[in-house]
A and B are shown apart, each in its own frame.
Chain A
Amino acid sequence: MKKLFVLTAAALLAGAAGAQAQAWPSRPITMIVPFAAGGPTDVVARIVGEHMSRTLGQQIVVENVTGAGGTTGITRAKQATPDGYTIAMGHMGTHGAAPALYPNLRYDPAKDFEPIGVAAGTPILIVTKKDFPATSLKEFLDHLKTSGPKLNEANAGVGSVSHTTCTLLQSLTGTKFTRVPYRGTGPALNDLVAGQVDFGCDQIVNLVPQIQAGTIKAIAIATKERSPSLPNVPTTKEGGLPEYEVSAWNAVFAPKDTPKEVTAKLVDALDKSLSDENTRKRLLELGGIIPEGADRGPQALQKLVESEVARWTPVLKAAGVVGQ
């Protein structure tokens, strides 16, 4: 009897060990999205994840782990077992601005992850309320210089993309304006439409329908080229402030020490999804920017992370913006 028991146990253990040798992926993969379901990052993650699931042959399940500007979810991803079954969708905030915003940050964006690749970026727009007395970027900047403190800027709170990007605007123009925080972009947008606040800097995803309907005004888009979804909005380059080039990029990361074979497969799956016509269509409809060629893949992402951290740290520190 005892022998039978020992043999069975040994067989089970051997089977378990053998299971490890099975090709990755042999069960669904969790993609941690550090923001609420329905938001821009979540939407990008789901669109891209859906196609990646097909390439990999296993479902990519999105798990929303929100909190602390996205850092809670990313910390969870860092601590996950690096076996390829947990990955994360980080973005400009979690892997660029976070070190400056959170002194007690428990991860290093450049060192604690294996970069997989940029998924899609959403350009930032400077928008104003309907009857703001400026139509071009130049007029807007003049207004900022003369009546800065009288102007109200809506953002989604410290640590959000809208807050961080307007901080950059503030430091680039050397102006000071009154910052009004909201709990999320929804309420902020609502007050902008209502005219309770004057302007804001936010991702294109939320703004396109409002601009097209004329409820708010778009002053400039912070990219090199105009966006196909908003062809009438000039770029900051055309408007005279080329240094203000920001996009809230979203990228896929895996925990450090994830095996090379696994990351290679992830890189390939991501690449295929970004070239898939249907996926591209949906991402472009959102106003997203899809990376091409040299901008794809792990090396490009690693460089991006390092350069973003270098870029945001002095700006945010100088503005005295500090989360905890």
Chain B
Amino acid sequence: MQSDVDAAGKPARQGVIRAPQSFFAGLALIALGLFAIWAISNLPQGTLGAMGPAMLPRWLAIAVALCGAALVVVGLLKEGEPLERWHLRGPVLVAIGIICFAVTIRWFGLAVAGPLALFIGGFGSDETRPKELLIFAILMTAFCVVLFRYLLNQPMPILIIPGTSIYI
């Protein structure tokens, strides 16, 4: 729809925000900086000669917020990259897979946590083949059990069934 083209051959962006990536990055940084300032607010800063625990974090947070502001300004003034598309499948499934591992490893053991993480996380790719993944998950977990528990002697629970005393 827009036929104007800028020097780089890219369509000139209409609107106030010339470089959305910088702009929103900058906003996020300002938020981060403010959050950190709030998080450290309960501690004493001390003086320059006798620095307290909050001195460095506070000034760093301010620096981060300032950098964020600079990026916002850049985003308004210069041409730059647009916001990249976000893919949700990968991050969400991988994150859930990892969290499942964390939640089950101590209470159910590697034999449960492993396949869970492998199977759920494995779905993060567009090309997953469920049956293949399931078999792979079981085989890989077996390999890890042998490697970490028996070869390397790591104190990691393999299989715990609560209620019974099965604890391998």
Contacts and interface: CB of A to CB of B under 8 A. Distances in A.
A16 interface: yes
Contacts of A28: 155
Contact of A20 (B153, B155, B165): B165
Contacts of B164: 13, 16-17
A30 interface: yes
B165 A17 contact: yes
A61 B156 CA distance: 11
B5 interface: no
B52 to A, nearest CB: 14
B47 to A, nearest CB: 16
Q: SS class of chain B's interface: helix, strand, loop or mixed?
A: loop
A19 interface: yes
Contacts of B153: 61
B16 interface: no
Contacts of B155: 28, 30, 61, 63
Interface string B138-154: 00000000000000010
Contacts of A27: 167
Contacts of A61: 153, 155
Interface string B81-99: 0000000000000000000
Interface in B117-168: 153, 155, 161, 164-167
Given A16-B161, A16-B164, A20-B165, 8 more contacts: A13-B164, A17-B164, A19-B165, A19-B166, A27-B167, A28-B155, A63-B155, A85-B167
Top 9 A-B pairs ranked by shortest CB distance? A20-B165, A16-B164, A63-B155, A16-B166, A30-B155, A61-B155, A16-B165, A19-B165, A13-B164
Interface of B: 153, 155, 161, 164-167
6 contacts: A16-B165, A16-B166, A17-B165, A19-B166, A28-B155, A85-B167
